[in-house]
């Protein structure tokens, strides 16, 4: 067992009050030193239920890639009122980068993953103002499968009492007025948009158009989740090249945060395929290639 595993095991064995105290002390120290901390070189901005957790876990196993304090900081959508100093305090210090350079002759790459950013109305502008040069990684999954996975994830966590068909039928009613309320009050957190946006999140073209208006295309790496699921080493290599990280192979590519949802009703699937077909066609025009989701 390696040192990291021993540390993890020791941490898990600590009483909750001790853990909470340690986290509080670390948070205070991090805030005091936020000015000397790094900013992210990349952000995985989406989409939800598309393999972002697995990709992030793979990336931070690379010796040159350092992770934020937690996987989903959600600063640019949920915690923006905490201020940029709070956000910066979540990342490694400049001294950490220098130690890595001296010890292993590696240039540290820092990033975070908050897959709600892609869908959030304010996240693109906030990130563009704060981090105009950041690299943006986007995982897009067949919106039919993404919607079904999203539904079962919410149902399992107690956020969805309806059946799948009723939930997607009632989505327009549930989300009615939510975006407008968010636009009127930047601190408003929409429960409905976060938990019940099964169809809306799958209209990727409209979300990407907003981001493309604010960032050059060369700052994006847009990937199909299906490719990550089938051949994770190939996608991993592609992302490392995009980030400018040295080549690296993992011993295994474990799947994280997967969720067994059973089979979808064929009639429902057929309806969803047709629902998303025009949106996928527009997405293909925007990206210059078809993502192969019309089935």
Interval 206-262: pLDDT, tens: 999 999 999 999 999 999 999 999 999 999 999 999 999 999 999 999 887 766 677
pTM: 0.88
5-9, 24-28, 246-250, 263-267 — which is least confidently predicted? 5-9
Q: Can you give the pLDDT at residue 6?
A: 46
Q: What mean pLDDT do residues 261-281 have?
A: 94
20 has pLDDT over 70: no
10-14, 84-88, 132-136 — which is least confidently predicted? 10-14
CB-CB neighbours of 137 under 10 Å: 23
Q: Are 198 and 168 in contact (CB under 8 A)?
A: yes
Distance set, CA 231 to CA 23, 44, 186 (Å): 37, 19, 40
Cα(109)–Cα(127) distance, integer angstroms = 18
171 has pLDDT over 60: yes
pLDDT band at 69 (very low <50, low <70, confident <90, very high): confident
Which tokens hold the place of 146? 């993404």
Which tokens hold the place of 138? 């986007």
Q: Can you give the pLDDT at residue 185?
A: 95
Average pLDDT score, the chain: 90
CB-CB neighbours of 198 under 10 Å: 24
280 has pLDDT over 90: yes
φ, ψ of residue 37 in degrees (nearest 5) = -105, 155
CB-CB neighbours of 159 under 10 Å: 12
Cis-peptide, bond into residue 47, ω within 30° of zero: yes
Share in percent of the chain as helix, strand, coil (round to 5): 55, 10, 35
Identify the CA nearest to 194 among candidates 123, 288, 94, 111. 123
Distance set, CA 20 to CA 31, 79, 213 (Å): 17, 20, 42
Q: Can you give the pLDDT at residue 1?
A: 44
Residue carrying structure tokens 């959600």:
74
Q: Are 242 and 135 in contact (CB under 8 A)?
A: yes
Q: Can you give the pLDDT at residue 5?
A: 43
pLDDT band at 9 (very low <50, low <70, confident <90, very high): low
Q: Can you give the pLDDT at residue 33?
A: 67
- Which domains does the chain carry? 27-287 (3.40.50.300)
Coil vs helix vs strand at 222:
strand
77 has pLDDT over 50: yes
pLDDT tens per residue, range 148-169: 999 999 999 999 999 999 999 9
Sheet order of strands, 220-224 included: 65-67, 109-113, 42-46, 135-140, 220-224
Which of the 8 DSSP states describes residue 37? B
10 has pLDDT over 90: no
């Amino acid at each position: 067992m390696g040192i990291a595993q021993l540390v993890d095991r020791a941490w898990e064995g600590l009483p909750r009050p001790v853990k909470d105290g340690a986290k509080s002390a670390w948070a205070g120290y991090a805030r005091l030193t936020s000015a000397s901390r790094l900013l992210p070189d990349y952000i995985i901005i989406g989409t939800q239920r598309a393999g972002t957790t697995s990709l992030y876990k793979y990336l931070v196993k690379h010796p040159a890639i350092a992770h934020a304090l937690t996987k989903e900081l959600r600063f640019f959508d949920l915690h923006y009122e905490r201020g940029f100093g709070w956000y910066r305090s979540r990342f490694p210090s400049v001294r950490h980068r220098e130690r890595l350079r001296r010890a292993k002759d590696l240039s540290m790459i820092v990033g975070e993953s908050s897959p709600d950013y892609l869908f959030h109305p304010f996240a693109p502008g906030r990130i563009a103002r704060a981090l105009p040069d950041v690299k943006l990684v986007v995982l897009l999954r067949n919106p039919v499968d993404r919607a079904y996975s999203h539904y079962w994830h919410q149902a399992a966590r107690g956020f969805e009492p309806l059946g799948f068909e009723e939930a997607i039928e009632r989505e327009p009613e549930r989300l009615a007025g939510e975006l407008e309320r968010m636009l009127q009050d930047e601190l408003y957190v929409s429960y409905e948009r976060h938990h019940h946006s099964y169809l809306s999140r799958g209209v990727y073209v409209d979300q990407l158009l907003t981001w493309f208006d604010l960032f050059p295309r060369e700052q994006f790496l847009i990937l199909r989740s299906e490719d990550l699921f089938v051949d994770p080493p190939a996608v991993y290599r592609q992302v490392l090249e995009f980030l400018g990280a040295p080549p690296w192979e993992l011993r295994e590519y474990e799947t994280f945060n997967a969720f067994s949802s059973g089979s979808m009703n064929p009639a429902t699937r057929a309806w969803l395929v047709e629902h998303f077909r025009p949106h996928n066609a527009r997405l293909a025009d925007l990206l210059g290639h078809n993502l192969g989701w019309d089935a």
